[in-house]
Structure 1
Amino acid sequence: MSVVLSGSPALAPLLARGALLSPFKRPRPDAGFPRDRLVLPGLRIDLARLAAYERVCGFATGDDALPLTYPHVLGFPLAMRLMSGRGFPLPLLGLVHTSVEITRRRALAATGEYELAVHVGGLAPHRRGTEASVITEVRTGGEVVWESRSAYLARHRTARTAEPPGTDRRGTDLRGSDPRETEPRGTDSRGTDPHGTDPHGTDLRGTDPRETDPPGTEPRETEPPVAVPGPLPAVAEWHLGGDVGRRYGAASGDRNPIHLYPLTARLFGFPRAVAHGMWTAARCLAAHGAPERVRVRAEFRAPVLLPGTVTYAADGGRFELRGGERVHVSGVVEDLGPGGR
């Protein structure tokens, strides 16, 4: 059912409601979820707020075209209205934004008028809990010109894993450490024996030692090894101030306490304030650039602590943000061309 709103809801009360209801949520992939589609018609852009967003994210200011990531900011209050309600089964506290995919079919003018719609796409099992997808669409003249799909993970015990809370699906501890660093000696970061076998006895070089050929038979052909892409070449080093989370929060409206101050971040297990995931994606895309018709996917792999220093790296359509050897964000930019969908 479509619910038409007369204005964008205020974020602060929604965040407070979501925090209060979080202890009573029991996440599971087969739970019910809100089926409403929230629609905000006649949306016009606040140009002063847009300019603040462009400055903090590194986009060029003064252009009439909206930055690729800005409609996510416009849709965030509607998403929070859905996710903070009683009908949404995942607790808002501790919810981790794991990825976003954005498709832009044409440039959006900052002076245009749009219809904004947000709905929950569904729930799915995840090896570390339950993941929800939230879909945001921007229409003009009845045509969808921009859409995104964000994945949010609620971490909890599942039948597939007994790993402690605080890790994402790639094994990265969201509180700042990597559980792979505590693996026993003699294994590499994939949990495999460095001599070429995994714990189940499968030879990672292409054969299984339990399936040896009998003497006198011709050796079997094996598939050539798959090339694993190496680190992307560094393009720039960015020194991030401790106020990045507060500046982005003021421009976007997302004032989650983990992003604001060291004290408020420590209440949630972080040693310092953490940069917004969507800020890291926007900052990378501001540096990378994107064609008019484009699809972008960004994976949020580890938090960026503030203040800090990170390396922006890119090659072709790929980009990433690194801190030392740790990859914080990785992404792909796909040019859809004139006939792209």
Structure 2
Amino acid sequence: MPNRKYDHTPGFGQLYARTVRATLRRADYEPDADGLTLELPRTAIDQDHLTAYREVTGFNAGPALPVTYPHVLAFPLHLDLMSDPSFPYKPMGIVHLSNVITQLQPIPIHAEPAIKVHSTAERPHPKGTVFDVISEVSVDGEVVWTDLTTLLSRSSGTPTATVDLLPDPSVEPTAWWDLRGNLGRRYAAASGDRNPIHLFKLTAQAFGFPRQIAHGMWAKAASLASIQRGTKLPDAYTVRVDFRKPLLLPSRVQFGSKSSGRKTDFALYDEKHELTHLIGQLEHI
């Protein structure tokens, strides 16, 4: 498997330029069958950036990183992977279906973690082809956090393909959130994810949305921050979310969660409880 190491995090300007070129390119190349692994042996955590991330997602300050924050640290490598000529799909237009994070132990805010990113083999889906981007974060040589991001490249698909989905939970709303139209831009500034579907009405309409939509990983982070404010989360757990209907901005949404034993189910609905935007499940390890 080819391996590429960096001395520092790739810059977003160059990455987004590559992403645009990769989206416009013709698919007449042969991707590397073994895939590509990207490594960042050391990354320093910018404390001001971390504070901005906490503010937009709702996580309280503390000695450990929010469980979703390493995804932000790994995101430049995600972009680098998907804009590389060896990547078999055009990056713009890829749909984020689900995300699974496993935290084996909290990551101190002053740690200097190592990050490794690679993708898995493709598999059929009723709406096209899906694949996973896997991220691993290590501290002092020990893997402490992993992330599995499942993405869909749309095509004619395979109608008989099976789809792994979380069951719809039975949760009553415990909070109502009023989301402003600039939420996507605020989260983009904190995360680096400046996909145009999240920024402005006009840029979202260019991709078929009536107006801008919230980032899926913002919705996951805000959900976990809400749960954390109500109860102490364990040091080690796995949390999965499935992204259902796009969350248009601005909007008012319902959030609900329910714990039973070592599991917590949660969900994010529209104001009328007619559309499901996100379904999640947290399980202690």
TM value normalised by structure 2: 0.89
Mean Cα displacement is larger for which, 119-128 or 235-244? 119-128
Contact 1:118–1:137 under 8 Å retained in 2? yes
CA positional deviation for 1:127: 1.2
Say if 2:174 and 2:257, in contact at 8 Å, map to a contact too: yes
Query: Displacement of 1:41 after TM fit?
Result: 1.5
What do the CA deviations read for 1:178-228 (whole angstroms, capped 9, x no partner)? Answer: xxxxxxxxxxxxxxxxxxxxxxxxxxxxxxxxxxxxxxxxxxxxxxxxxx8
TM-superposed CA distance for 1:143, in Å, is 1.0
The separation in 2 between residues aligned to 1:230 and 1:283, in whole angstroms, is 18
For the Cα contact (< 8 Å) 1:260–1:273, is it kept in 2? yes
AA aligned to 2:108 is A
User: 1:230 and 1:114 mapped to 2: Cα distance?
Assistant: 35
| 2:265 matches 1:318 | yes
Conserved 8 A contact 1:39-1:116: yes
User: What CA distance in whole angstroms lies between the structure 2 residues aligned with 1:112 and 1:11?
Assistant: 23
Question: Once the 2 structures are TM-superposed, how far is the Cα of residue 42 of structure 1 from its aligned partner?
Answer: 2.1
Partner Cα separation in structure 2 for residue 327 and residue 104 of structure 1: 26
CA distance in structure 2 between the aligned counterparts of 1:142 and 1:125, rounded to whole angstroms: 35
Q: Provide the secondary structure at the position in 2 that maps to 1:239.
A: strand
Query: SS state of the match for residue 297, structure 1?
Result: strand
Partner of 2:220: 281
Residue 19 of structure 1, CA deviation: 2.4
Contact 2:169–2:266 at 8 Å: present in 1 too?
Answer: no
Matched, 1:131 2:130: yes
Asked if structure 1 preserves the Cα contact closer than 8 Å seen for 2:105 and 2:144, the reply is yes
The answer to whether 1:298 aligns with 2:241 is: yes
- Contact conserved, 2:4 with 2:38, CA < 8 A, in 1? yes
Q: What RMSD over aligned residues (CA atoms) do the two structures have, in Å?
A: 2.0
Aligned counterpart for 2:281 among listed residues 308, 329, 332: 332
Residue of structure 2 equivalent to 1:190: none
The offset of 1:14, in angstroms, is 1.9
Summarize the Cα distance change of 1:287–1:264 in structure 2 as closer, same or farther, 3 Å threshold. Answer: same
Q: What secondary structure, in the 3-state scheme, does the structure 2 residue paired with 1:320 have?
A: strand
Q: CA deviation at 1:24?
A: 3.8
Aligned-residue offset at 1:122: 2.1
Residue of structure 1 equivalent to 2:43: 43
Gaps of 5+ in 1: 162-168, 171-227, 337-341
- Cα offset for 1:71? 0.3
C-alpha deviation, 1:32, in angstroms: 4.9
Larger mean CA deviation between 297-306 and 229-238 belongs to 229-238
Identity of aligned residues (%): 40
Whole-angstrom CA distance in 1 between matches of 2:112 and 2:278: 32
* Distance (whole Å) between structure 2 residues aligned to residue 266 and residue 64 of structure 1: 41
Cα distance in 2, alignment partners of residues 5 and 130 from structure 1: 30
What letter is aligned with 1:307?
P
Aligned to 1:59: 59
1:1-341 alignment, distance < 5 Å: 1-24=2-25, 26=27, 32=32, 35-61=35-61, 63-160=62-159, 231-289=170-228, 290-316=233-259, 317-323=264-270, 324=272, 325-336=274-285
Contact 1:33 1:88 (8 Å CA) reproduced: no
CA distance in 2, matches of 1:301, 1:90: 22
The residue identity in structure 2 corresponding to 1:46 is: D
Moved over 4 A (4+): 30-34
Structure 2, unmatched stretches of 5+, are: none
Does the CA-based 8 Å contact 1:313-1:319 persist in structure 2? Answer: yes
Structure of greater Rg: 1
The AA in structure 1 aligned to 2:12 is: L
Question: Which whole-Å CA distance do the structure 2 matches of 1:287 and 1:298 have between them?
Answer: 15
Distance in 2 between the 1:298 and 1:143 partners? Answer: 25
8 Å contact from structure 2 (residues 35, 86) kept in 1: no
- Which stretch shifts more, 273-282 or 112-121? 112-121
Q: Is the 8 A contact 1:57 1:283 kept in 2?
A: yes
Taking the aligned partners of 2:169 and 2:189, their CA distance within structure 1 comes to: 37
Distance in 2 separating the partners of 1:93 and 1:315: 36
Q: In structure 1, what is the Cα distance between the partners aligned to 2:91 and 2:99? A: 18
Contact kept? 2:31, 2:85, Cα under 8 Å = no
SS in 2 for 1:42: coil
Residues 151-201 of structure 1: CA deviation (Å, up to 9, x unaligned)? 11011013438xxxxxxx79xxxxxxxxxxxxxxxxxxxxxxxxxxxxxxx
Aligned counterparts of 1:251 and 1:286: Cα–Cα separation in 2? 16
- Per-residue CA deviation, residues 1-41 of structure 1 (Å, 9 max, x unaligned), is 332201111223322322232244559xx975562221111
